[in-house]
Amino acid sequence: MSPRSLLLLLALALLCWHARANLAVEAQLFVNCGSGISASNCTENAPCSSLAAAIAIWTLQRAQRTTIWIAAGSVCLERGIFIDDAQQLTIAGRGGGAKLDFGGNNGFEVAESSLQLRNLALTHANEALLAWDCSVSVINCTFDANERG
C-alpha cells in the first residue's frame, strides 16, 4: 500500500470516528406535562408527561450529555427529583419558561453532577435546590413560593 493510500485510509478512519463521536454528543428527551404520554420514551413526537419520567430514562444513559426539554407553558407537578452522577445534564424550558411545582416536597437534590437549569420556575418546594459536590448553573430561572429558596 502506498503512503498516499495509507494516509487517505487514515483520514477516512478519523472522519468516521469523528462523525460517530458527534452523533453521540447529546441526547435529547422531551416533556410536556399538559399533553405528554405517561408510558413514553420522551421523544419529540411522543413526549413524557413528567420530568420524573424523563429522569428515569436519562438514568439509563447518564454518562452521555443530555438535554431534557420541557414544553413552554407546561406546569409539571413533581414530587422531587434526585440526580446523581450526571455528566452535563441540562433541564430547560423549550421555547419559553416551564413551571415545576414540587407540592411542598424538596425540589432538585443533586449529587456529584454537572447540571444546568434554564428557563424554569421552581415553585412550592420545601427547598427548591439542594446540591453537593456539583457544578450547577441556573440561567433565567425563578424561585417562587418555596420554604427555603
Residue 61: strand, helix, or coil: helix
pLDDT tens profile 72-125: 999 999 999 999 999 899 999 999 999 999 999 999 999 999 999 999 999 999
**Cα separation, 25 vs 18, whole angstroms:** 10
pTM above 0.85, yes or no: no
Model pLDDT, residue 22: 47
pLDDT in tens, 11-34: 555 554 544 544 557 999 999 999
Instruction: Read off the DSSP letter of residue 48.
Output: B
Find, among 37, 95, 100, the residue nearest to 71 by Cα: 95
Q: Which range is least confidently modeled, 19-23, 43-47, 128-132, 143-147?
A: 19-23
Give the model's pLDDT for residue 39.
80
Spatial CB neighbours of 133, under 8 Å, sequence gap ≥ 6: 111, 112
Contacts of 73 (CB under 8 A, 6+ apart): 34, 96, 97, 98
